[in-house]
Structure 1
Amino acid sequence: MEELLRDLSRVTLGGRELGEVLGEITGIAARAVPGAEAVSTTMVRGDKAFTAAFSGQMALDADELQYEEDSGPCLDAGRGGVVLRVDDMRTEQRWPAYVARVRRTGVRSSLSVPLPYQGSSIGALNVYSTEPAAFATPESLAAGLGVAETIAVAVANADAHAQLAEQARNMRIAMESRAVIEQAKGVLMAQRHVDPEQAFEILREASQRYNRKLRDIAAGIVAGVQNAR
């Protein structure tokens, strides 16, 4: 467990694509969760679930069967925020359609741990094995919980970065709009001999009259002057 936590602490979150980060964390889980043969990270966005990263084709195959059936432990864990363990697919009674199909992939047991995020769950870490009861030990659960928390932190970091980027974009657009509006006011002041407030009022009235954004009206005025030169 100490080695797992050390490896997880070394994962760089900043300046990387979320998919790349999740791929690295999922790979660590595949090596470090006791009993793991294949691991995946399921993300749930609204009604849609998808595999964001996986280590081992068996994990991807098992995930996709659940998406097709819209039923299975990874979906219930990801949507309901509960840990779900299957000790033996040969005797498992839950999710009958999925279980009947996943047996053919070789999966015998699995562990799905929800990804906690702002008081809810946004997906699940899924661990698969061809052996029965591969995750029946406290060590497997503890490792799974540790990985799931790290994934949740990575997602939160990516979301925060995206929000900052969107805020920066909106600020840039606002500054550009303000600049073109000021230019248009200058044109109107020179052409019509009005003061700044009157120039802005002309722009505002034109915006209402033609049902166009004030910035677009201003840009048209500035472009007209530039084209006339």
Structure 2
Amino acid sequence: MTHPMSDPTDAFTELGRINLGEVGLDDVLQRVAELAKRVLPIPVEVSVTLARNGVGHTAAFTDELARDLDERQYAQGRGPCLDAAASGHILPVPDLHAEDRWPDWAAAGVRAGVGSSVSIGLPIQEAVVGALNVYARTPHAFDDDTVVILETFAAYAAVALANAQLYDSTATLARQMRDAMTSRAVIEQAKGIVMAERRCTPAEAFTVLARASQDSNRTVRDVAQALVDRAAEAQVRS
């Protein structure tokens, strides 16, 4: 069971302590949702929306209530979390019973026992935007001081998420570069084997590999690896 933090700055400090080398983006998103729930002195449920090209999905949530209300918005293509993500603004819904901007969604929220909500835009990167969504059981649960706390938390969270996204992208690029270098090394080895067997030029050797790739419906890298493996096995047998 989680408990509210006595000092909101504790949550900001915890965000800064996240070790991006040890946790993935999904873990950071979940941590943001959990800390946002704890940063407030009132009982709430929290979700994090990520949206690309206007299409949203809930990347983290503290309770299925929050996820379900998010998903109703995605199904309708409109709602406070999507609008906050797109605009980067704060969109409070003080009383779902009286909400007329998104009446269908508000009615569903009332049936689920939600009285008020607030969504705050999270600018993460150019292609991906997000929103921090906070749901309370009672109407008018978010006074000015509470919204200020959430706005400050969201600013810290946006930095943490942007850094996590950058780290994740950088790590992916590094893996791709390593894979590319490995593939190139294997292909060069295979070219050397073909050149030795056929006494041909490097360009001619690559043509042989490319033709074998087309004939066998495999990548050049896979053809090269198979050739290198066979050569290694032959050397062991000899």
TM over 0.5: yes
Distance of 1:117 and 1:98 partners within structure 2: 26
**1:67 to 1:211, Cα distance in 2 relative to 1, 3 A:** same
Q: Which residue pairs with 2:102 in the alignment?
A: 95
2:68 is aligned, of 61, 67, 79, to: 61
**For the residues of structure 1 that align with 2:121 and 2:142, how far apart are their CA atoms?**
15
Identity of aligned residues (%): 39
Is the alpha carbon distance of 1:121 and 1:206 closer, same or farther for their aligned partners in structure 2, counting shifts above 3 Å? Answer: closer
Deviation at 1:34, TM superposition (A): 5.0
In 2, Cα distance between equivalents of 1:207 and 1:186: 11
**For this pair of structures, how many residues does the alignment match?**
224
Tell me what 2:7 maps to: 3
CA, structure 1 residues 145+53, in 2 after alignment: closer, same or farther (shift >3 Å)? same
TM-score (norm 2): 0.79
1:188 aligns with 2:188: no
Using the TM superposition, give the Cα deviation of residue 67 of structure 1 relative to its aligned residue in structure 2, in angstroms: 2.7
Distance 1:122 1:190, change over 3 A: same
Q: Structure 2 vs 1, CA of residues 170 and 23 (structure 1 numbering), >3 Å: closer, same or farther?
A: closer
Which aligned pairs between 1:1-229 and structure 2 lie closer than 5 A?
Answer: 3-11=7-15, 12-14=18-20, 15-118=22-125, 122-137=129-144, 139-193=145-199, 198=201, 200-207=202-209, 209=211, 212=214, 214-226=220-232, 228=234, 229=237
Q: Which amino acid in the other structure matches residue 26 of structure 2?
A: G
Query: Once superposed, what is the RMSD of the aligned Cα atoms?
Result: 2.8
- TM-fit CA distance, 1:93: 1.2
Gaps of 5+ in 1: none
The one-letter amino acid paired with 2:80 is P
TM-score (structure 1 length as normaliser): 0.81
Task: After superposition, give the CA deviation of every residue in 1:3-61 in whole Å (9 maximum; x if it has no partner).
Answer: 21232222314111333322232222222235452222122234432222223443233
Determine helix, strand or coil for the equivalent of 2:60. strand
Deviations 1:106-136 (A, max 9, x none): 2111111011124676121111222222213
Alpha-carbon distance between aligned partners in 2 of 1:20 and 1:127, rounded to the nearest angstrom: 19
The answer to whether the 8 Å contact 1:111/1:128 transfers is yes
For structure 2, the residue ranges without an aligned partner over 5 or more in a row are none
